Amino acid sequence: MNKSIRWGIIGCGDVTERKSGPAFNLVPGSSLLAVMRRDAAKAEDYAKRHNVSKWYSDAGRLIADPDINAIYVATPPGAHEEYTIAALKAGKPVYVEKPMATDTAACSRMLKTADETGVKLSIAHYRRALPMFLYIKELLAAKAIGQPRTVRISLLQPPQSELVASTQTNWRVDPAIAGAGLFYDLAPHQLDLLIYFFGAPLGASGCSANQAGLYKAEDVVTGWMRLPQDIMFTGQWCYTVAASLREDLFEITGSKGRIRFAVFDHSVTVETENGVETKTFTPPQHIQQPMIEKVVEYFTGTGANPCSAAEALESMRVMEQFAYGNAKPKS
């Protein structure tokens, strides 16, 4: 059992600049030793700017480095399976970005490898560790709004000009690399919270389309499901609405009140017969730091897995069902 986690990052791109990368050196018992990017110059630049001692342009060499005993996979999702399985087979625990992969088949292979090797695997659904969402979970456990009856998610966004202008190079809207476009990029945060709050769904269905034709990936998705305790869920995601119609809503309606919040914002409003109360939270400077703390505890044997591969597989199964219905993507 490792008492100190010495990390290597595979894929030191934008997400690691502020959200995660610096946090590995701020968590007790954790340090960042090496980074990898296929572009050696960019890997070296990242390492020098973040005071990381080693950099690689080959993931295999980073995984084989004897000084590294844990791997953070932060590449685009199309490469998550390959690097995660390679690291697990090398006996090194893995923290992998969301979505876990681009389809359930890949997620299942990753989970199977972790089970077969006995090496730990955790998924970066980091909102589970943030105070705002822990507060919501506590409200639900305390029956602050009574018995939950329905849940509704609505995420509406205007077309992002930077994505449309660079569709040839932007992986987030390339189905071959990222699956169902911005839905697969953003919905994991929302749907994982749904499972974190209520458990795995009892049934799910949905459909999707490419309405605007700005890129190859789907740009509108709708879904519905039955959750444990017969809680009913409906959701809609559209990335080509007018800017004035932008919406980020997660609404839980219960027998005695309602909880409303935006997943990508920092306040929660609770409505009950006693009135309306809004509580605002200040996010950490490095948004993944609380989750990384829990992952380090898990890897060192002092805590539970904050998000298992089996749990992440559930949210991927829901996304796949919403986006593709019975026409599952091939893997």
CATH 3.40.50.720, the chain: domain bounds: 5-126+287-306
Q: What is the pTM of this model?
A: 0.93
pLDDT tens digits in sequence order for the chain, 331 residues long: 568 999 999 999 889 999 999 999 999 999 999 999 999 999 999 999 999 999 999 999 999 999 999 999 999 999 999 999 999 999 999 999 999 999 999 999 999 999 999 999 999 999 999 999 999 999 999 999 999 999 999 999 999 866 666 666 688 888 888 888 999 999 999 999 999 999 999 999 999 999 999 999 999 999 999 999 999 999 999 999 999 999 999 999 999 999 999 999 999 999 999 999 999 999 999 999 999 999 999 999 999 999 999 999 999 999 999 999 855 544 4
Question: Are 193 and 133 within 8 A, CB to CB?
Answer: yes
Give the strand pairing for 70-73 and 94-96: parallel
Spatial neighbors of 29 by CB under 8 A, at least 6 apart, are 3, 4, 5, 296, 300
Phi and psi (nearest 5°) for 73?
A: -95, 110
Element (H, E) at 184: helix 181-198
Determine the pLDDT at residue 312. 97
Task: Give CA separation, 32 vs 69, 96, 162, 293, in Å.
Answer: 11, 15, 31, 13
CATH 3.30.360.10, the chain: domain bounds: 131-283
Tokens standing for residue 103 = 């389809």
What is the CATH number that goes with domain 5-126+287-306?
3.40.50.720
Determine the pLDDT at residue 172. 87
Determine the pLDDT at residue 331. 46
DSSP one-letter code for 308: B
Determine the pLDDT at residue 195. 96
Spatial neighbors of 261 by CB under 8 A, at least 6 apart, are 132, 136, 250, 267, 268, 269
Could you say which of 3.30.360.10, 3.30.70.141, 3.30.365.10, 3.40.50.2300 is the CATH number of the domain covering 131-283?
3.30.360.10
Tokens standing for residue 117 = 């090797």
3-state secondary structure of 249: strand
Residue with structure tokens 């202008």?
Answer: 165
**For residues 225 and 231, what is the distance between their CA atoms, to the nearest angstrom?**
9
DSSP one-letter code for 285: S
